[in-house]
């Protein structure tokens, strides 16, 4: 039997977080091992886990997702991070890539894109919208 990918989800919006958890529980390939409402709480607890993938909201109070990603990559550059955000202009995407994210999903298109992006990032692909990075 194939091992399920272990996932951590970080989002400050409880309703959105609950929706993602419900969505991913239907998928047989993933196991949600932890959920957090802030980047700081994830960083304080990350040593307890060896996740295959972290879904990380970008716009959070306190330590935002980009700063959280930078700190996570300092701890372990092999971590696979996917940004979840409403913003996706060229400059913003460039910041995500520089922070160490390997993928991006718009909050407006989670149901359509999340599973595919997760699968591709887990296969070591880098998945961002088709835009030109300046």
Per-residue pLDDT tens digits of the chain, which is 134 residues long: 678 999 999 999 999 999 999 999 888 889 999 999 999 999 999 999 999 999 999 999 999 999 999 999 999 989 999 999 887 666 678 899 999 999 999 988 888 899 999 999 999 999 987 644 43
Show the tokens assigned to 74.
């300092």
pLDDT at residue 134 in the model: 39
Q: What is the extent of the structural domain holding 21?
A: 5-122
Task: Give the integer Cα–Cα distance in Å for 49 and 7.
Answer: 10
Domain membership of residue 19 (yes or no) is yes
Number of domains present in the structure of the chain: 1
pLDDT at residue 89 in the model: 66
Domain membership of residue 131 (yes or no) is no
CATH of the domain at 58: 3.40.50.2300
pTM (predicted TM-score): 0.91
Domain membership of residue 104 (yes or no) is yes
Domain membership of residue 133 (yes or no) is no
DSSP state string for 78-116: T--EEEEES---HHHHHHHHHHT--EEEEGGGHHHHHHH
If you ran DSSP here, which 8-state letter would residue 127 be given?
B
Identify the residue whose tokens are 């970080």. Answer: 10
Domain membership of residue 97 (yes or no) is yes
CA nearest to 66, candidates 76, 56, 53, 51: 56
Domain membership of residue 129 (yes or no) is no
pLDDT at residue 3 in the model: 82
């Amino acid at each position: 039997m194939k091992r399920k990918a272990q996932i951590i989800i970080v989002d400050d919006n409880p309703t959105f977080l609950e929706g993602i958890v419900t969505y991913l529980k239907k998928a047989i390939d993933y196991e949600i091992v932890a959920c957090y409402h802030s980047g700081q709480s994830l960083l304080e607890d990350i040593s307890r886990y060896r996740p295959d993938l972290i879904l990380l909201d970008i716009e959070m109070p306190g330590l935002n997702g980009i700063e959280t990603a930078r700190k996570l990559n300092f701890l372990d550059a092999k971590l696979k991070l996917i940004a979840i955000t409403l913003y996706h202009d060229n400059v913003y995407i460039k910041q995500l890539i520089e922070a160490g994210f390997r993928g991006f999903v718009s909050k407006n298109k989670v149901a359509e894109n999340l599973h595919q992006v997760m699968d591709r990032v887990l296969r070591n692909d880098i998945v961002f919208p088709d835009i030109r990075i300046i």
